[in-house]
């Protein structure tokens, strides 16, 4: 609330304005306002876009695929290959999980690249929730596969016993750091990229004729941003695969 009062006078277009959450529909409950926000709206759009894309493109099931069918088959193959390379045959079971996360992050990033839309992956609470699902899921998977033997994951093999009191806390900290590094990477990349775009966009009009230079820069930067949007979804998916591999095989 305070931020909307702060820049109403002098600064009209703050580069951070695009990240502001505004409620669209209010749901008053006993624990507070669970509003349907612009962030929720983009998430719904993302999910609907994924479902439409995947169902409509493969509905014809032709042997000689159309361009759109190739696109959805490629995205399927991409994750299936990734899972096969990192986890192996046992990883096939977890394909729906990894594919859902990959598509959600990728299409979410891409929807965020459309002008005037909202990038929900630029909010740490969204990416942290995704990372927490991966982290808790992988930990539960490890316990289901190995029982209490899962704790041997924190013991590095081939070390003398007197090193264990130091190394076990280090291993536990490095394990707990996984969801943080996973979420911060995605969030910071999207936040920094979109802020940079807006900052340079703010230079275009005040500079007059020289404004062509930042305009050209924005065009190049938009291309780079789309590359980063894909790369971050890929990194998120590959790290999920690696964590599943760790939970199944232990070391």
Partner 1 sequence: MNNETHKINELKNKIEHIENKKISKSKLKKQSNASFGFKISTELVSALVVGVGIGLIVDKYLGTKPFGLITFFILGAFAGILNIYRVMRRIEKQQ
- Return residues touching partner 1 (CB under 8 A): 166, 169-171, 173-174, 176-178, 180-181, 184-185, 188-189, 228, 231, 235, 242
Q: Residue 118 or 128: which CB sits closer to partner 1?
A: 128
Q: Residue 60 or 181: which CB sits closer to partner 1?
A: 181
Q: Residue 140 or 170: which CB sits closer to partner 1?
A: 170
What minimum distance in Å lies between the beta carbon of 86 and partner 1?
A: 10
Distance CA 181, CA 116 (A): 29
Q: How many C-beta atoms lie closer than 10 Å to residue 146's C-beta?
A: 16
Strands (DSSP E) found in the chain:
23-25, 28-29, 32-33, 36-37
Residue of 90, 243, 113, 83 lying closest to 178 (CA atoms)? 243
What minimum distance in Å lies between the beta carbon of 123 and partner 1?
A: 17
3 state DSSP class of 248: helix
**Please, what is the Cα angle at 136 between 132 and 137, to 5 degrees?**
110
Distance CA 50, CA 182 (A): 23
Long-range CB contact pairs, 65-69, < 8 A, 24+: none
What minimum distance in Å lies between the beta carbon of 225 and partner 1?
A: 12
Q: Check if the beta carbon of residue 246 is closer than 8 Å to that of residue 91.
A: no
Distance CA 102, CA 121 (A): 12
Q: Which residues are within 8 A (CB) of 146 and not within 5 positions of it... i.e. 6 or more apart?
A: 152, 250
What minimum distance in Å lies between the beta carbon of 228 and partner 1?
A: 7
Q: Residue 56 or 167: which CB sits closer to partner 1?
A: 167
What minimum distance in Å lies between the beta carbon of 170 and partner 1?
A: 5
Q: Residue 72 or 121: which CB sits closer to partner 1?
A: 121
What minimum distance in Å lies between the beta carbon of 145 and partner 1?
A: 21
Distance CA 100, CA 102 (A): 6
Q: Residue 48 or 163: which CB sits closer to partner 1?
A: 163
Q: Residue 42 or 189: which CB sits closer to partner 1?
A: 189
What minimum distance in Å lies between the beta carbon of 180 and partner 1?
A: 4
């Amino acid at each position: 609330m305070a931020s909307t009062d702060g820049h109403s006078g002098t600064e009209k277009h703050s580069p951070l304005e695009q990240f502001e959450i505004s409620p669209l529909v209010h749901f008053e409950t006993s624990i507070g306002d669970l509003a349907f926000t612009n962030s929720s709206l983009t998430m719904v759009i993302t999910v609907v876009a994924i479902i439409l894309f995947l169902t409509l493109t493969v509905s014809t099931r032709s042997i000689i695929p159309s361009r759109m069918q190739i696109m959805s088959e490629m995205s399927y193959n991409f994750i299936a290959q990734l899972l096969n390379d990192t986890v192996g045959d046992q990883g096939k079971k977890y394909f729906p999980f990894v594919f859902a996360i990959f598509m959600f992050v990728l299409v979410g990033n891409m929807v965020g690249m459309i002008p005037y839309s909202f990038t929900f992956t630029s909010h740490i609470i969204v990416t942290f929730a995704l990372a927490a699902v991966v982290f808790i899921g992988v930990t539960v998977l490890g316990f289901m596969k190995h029982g209490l033997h899962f704790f041997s994951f924190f013991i590095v093999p081939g070390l003398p016993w007197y090193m264990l009191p130091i190394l076990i806390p280090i291993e536990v900290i490095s394990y707990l750091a996984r969801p943080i590094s996973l979420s911060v990477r995605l969030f910071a990349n999207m936040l920094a990229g979109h802020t940079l775009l807006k900052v340079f966009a703010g230079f275009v009009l005040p500079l007059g004729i020289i404004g062509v230079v930042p305009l050209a820069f924005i065009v190049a930067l938009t291309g780079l941003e789309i590359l980063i949007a894909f790369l971050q979804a890929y990194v998120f998916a590959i790290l999920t695969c690696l964590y599943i591999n760790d939970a199944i095989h232990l070391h």
